[in-house]
Structure 1
Amino acid sequence: MTDVTPALAREAWRLAEPLHAMIYFAPEVRERFAALGVPAGTDYFASRGAALGPVGPAPVVATFYNFNPALVARALPAAWEIVTPAAALAARLDAAGAALTRGLGDAVGSPEMAEAAELARRAAESAGAYAAGRALFAAHADLDWPQAPHLVLWHAQTLLREFRGDGHLAALLVAGVSGLQSIILHAASGKANAGFLRSSRGWSTEQWADEAAALRERGLLTGDELSDQGRALRDGLEADTDRLAAPAYQVLGADGAARLAELARPLSRTLVKAGFLAPAMPPRR
């Protein structure tokens, strides 16, 4: 079995990611949480944070990393007076199933879906051997697996996303980059809108400006753009993230990881073309 390179692991994750990430945009999520009485905005922290249990804001601030603590504190622990973590997880899974069925139609029951789900599950389950230091991944990995193949694929990609994300946070910590600084650098790369990132994460213009100034002092920004040093830092962070994520895919071998990417590509493309990742509501990463 040929080893999975960090680049191939990244490709397998990237091409499957829309199958998970649509959950941050799908109206089915808001509908289900509204029916439970959970306010808009709070539903994000309740749904993704529910795997941690009925926690207050601190564990979510720590593991989500780039949100203003004041924003999180408005949602938690108040959400748990309205809905239990178990009910929040059930609502999220139900919304995922409904959204994927709406977006993919008959493909949710296809042989390709079943094969992709089996490959992704193998990768996600194998990642458990590398769970040390990955709190958000470990919390989600402790949940029961769904039965339907399209939900198995969604849950597996959820685990692989959180596994990768936890590794990314480790790289940011080593580099001395705070949560707010990380999204400022992301915006400066030209890959995201600064105003959108700032508002969706709950930061004020003053807080953003102060941290941008700190990054300029470090030589990482020139004006509002990345300096050469900043680009090198971001490239290094991405390389470290890819390297830390790769162990999850080794169980598949290079052929299996490539096959997962091949199977996920048309499914993800269908969702993207149908607007399932359009920011009708702020995406959270």
Structure 2
Amino acid sequence: MTEVTPALAREAWRLAEPLHGMIYFAPEARERFDALGIPATAGYFASRGGAFGPVGPGPVVATFYNFNPDLVARALPAVWQLTTPAAALAARLDAADAALTRGLGDAIKSPEVAEAADLARLAAESATAYAAGRPLFAAHAALDWPDRPHLVLWHAVTVLREFRGDGHMAALLVAGVSGLQSMILHTASGQADGGFLRSSRGWSREQWAAQAAVLRERGLLDGEELSAEGRELRARIEAETDRLAVPAYQALGAHRCARLAELARPLSRTLVKAGFLAAAAPRK
């Protein structure tokens, strides 16, 4: 079995990511959180952070990394007076079911979705052998698996996403880049909408500007753009993130990892073309 390279692991993640990421923008999620009587922001922290159980803000601030702690503290632990972690997680899964059904239509019943689900689940389950130091991944990996193929695929991609995310956070920590600073650098690369990132993560313009000034002092920004040093640092962080993600896909081998990417591509493309992730796209 040919070993999976960091580039191949990145491609498998990149092409499957919209299948998970759409849940943060789908109106179905907001509807389910409304039904629980909780605001959308609290629903986000309750459903994703609910994998930890009824925690306060500490574990979520630590593992989500780039959110303003004050924003998290306004939602947790108060949201557990309104709902339970199990109910929040069930609402998110139900929203994923409805959103994928709307976005993919009859394709969710296709053999390609079933095959992708099997491959992604194999990768996600094998990744539990590398859970040390990956708390958000470990919490999601311990959740029960759904039974229908399109939801197995969604859950597996979610688990793999958290595996990669924990590794990315480790790479940022080693590089001395905070969560807020990472978003500023991401925005400066032209790959993200800074206004969306700042407001959705609860940071003020003043806080953003203060950390941008710190990055300029470090030589990582030239005005509002990345400096040569900033580009090099980002490339190094991304390369380390790719390397740390490899263990999750090794059980597939290179051929099946490439097959997972191949199967995920048209599914994700359908969702992107339908505007499921439009809110997160960089503004032109």
Give the TM bin, normalised by the shorter chain: over 0.9
Please state if 1:149 is matched with 2:149.
yes
Shift of 1:214: 0.8
Cα pair 2:192 2:281 within 8 Å, conserved: no
- What residue in structure 2 maps to residue 245 of structure 1? 245
Shift of 1:282: 10
Q: How does 1:20-169 map to 2 (within 5 A)?
A: 20-169=20-169
SS across alignment from 1:83: coil
Shift of 1:208: 0.8
Cα distance in 1, alignment partners of residues 281 and 80 from structure 2:
22
Cα distance in 1, alignment partners of residues 90 and 197 from structure 2:
28
Cα pair 1:51 1:143 within 8 Å, conserved: yes
Cα distance in 2, alignment partners of residues 40 and 170 from structure 1:
28
Cα pair 1:168 1:237 within 8 Å, conserved: yes
Relative to 1, partners in 2 of residues 1:282 and 1:88: Cα closer, same or farther, differing over 3 Å?
A: farther
Q: How does 1:189-228 map to 2 (within 5 A)?
A: 189-228=189-228
Cα distance in 1, alignment partners of residues 24 and 108 from structure 2:
19
- What residue in structure 1 maps to residue 261 of structure 2? 261
Letter of the aligned partner of 2:108 in structure 1? V
Cα pair 1:23 1:29 within 8 Å, conserved: yes
Percent of residue pairs identical? 80
Shift of 1:40: 2.5
SS across alignment from 1:126: helix
Deviations 1:180-216 (A, max 9, x none): 1110110111111222211111111111111111111
Cα distance in 2, alignment partners of residues 74 and 183 from structure 1:
21
SS across alignment from 2:162: helix
Relative to 1, partners in 2 of residues 1:178 and 1:55: Cα closer, same or farther, differing over 3 Å?
A: same
Shift of 1:139: 0.3
Structure 1 unaligned residues grouped into runs of 5+: none
Letter of the aligned partner of 1:83 in structure 2? T
- What residue in structure 2 maps to residue 229 of structure 1? 229
- What residue in structure 1 maps to residue 270 of structure 2? 270
Cα distance in 2, alignment partners of residues 247 and 84 from structure 1:
33
SS across alignment from 1:41: helix
Cα pair 1:200 1:282 within 8 Å, conserved: no
Letter of the aligned partner of 1:82 in structure 2? L
SS across alignment from 1:251: coil
Cα pair 1:25 1:282 within 8 Å, conserved: no
Cα distance in 1, alignment partners of residues 5 and 232 from structure 2:
21
* TM-score normalised by structure 2 residue count: 0.97
Deviations 1:46-85 (A, max 9, x none): 1111001101111101000000001111111111000000
Cα distance in 2, alignment partners of residues 101 and 196 from structure 1:
27
Letter of the aligned partner of 1:21 in structure 2? G
SS across alignment from 2:80: helix
- What residue in structure 2 maps to residue 182 of structure 1? 182
* TM-score normalised by structure 1 residue count: 0.97
Cα distance in 2, alignment partners of residues 18 and 39 from structure 1:
23
Moved more, 163-172 or 184-193: 184-193
SS across alignment from 2:152: helix
Runs of 4+ in 1 over 3 A off after TM superposition: none
Cα distance in 2, alignment partners of residues 197 and 88 from structure 1:
24
Cα pair 2:20 2:154 within 8 Å, conserved: yes
Letter of the aligned partner of 1:78 in structure 2? A
Structure 2 unaligned residues grouped into runs of 5+: none
Cα distance in 1, alignment partners of residues 64 and 106 from structure 2:
34
Shift of 1:130: 0.6
Letter of the aligned partner of 2:113 in structure 1? M
Cα distance in 1, alignment partners of residues 41 and 19 from structure 2:
21
Deviations 1:135-160 (A, max 9, x none): 00000000000000000000000000
Deviations 1:1-54 (A, max 9, x none): 100100001001111111111100111101011011011321111111100110
Letter of the aligned partner of 1:13 in structure 2? W
SS across alignment from 2:7: helix
Letter of the aligned partner of 1:210 in structure 2? A
Letter of the aligned partner of 2:272 in structure 1? V
Shift of 1:179: 0.7
SS across alignment from 2:2: coil
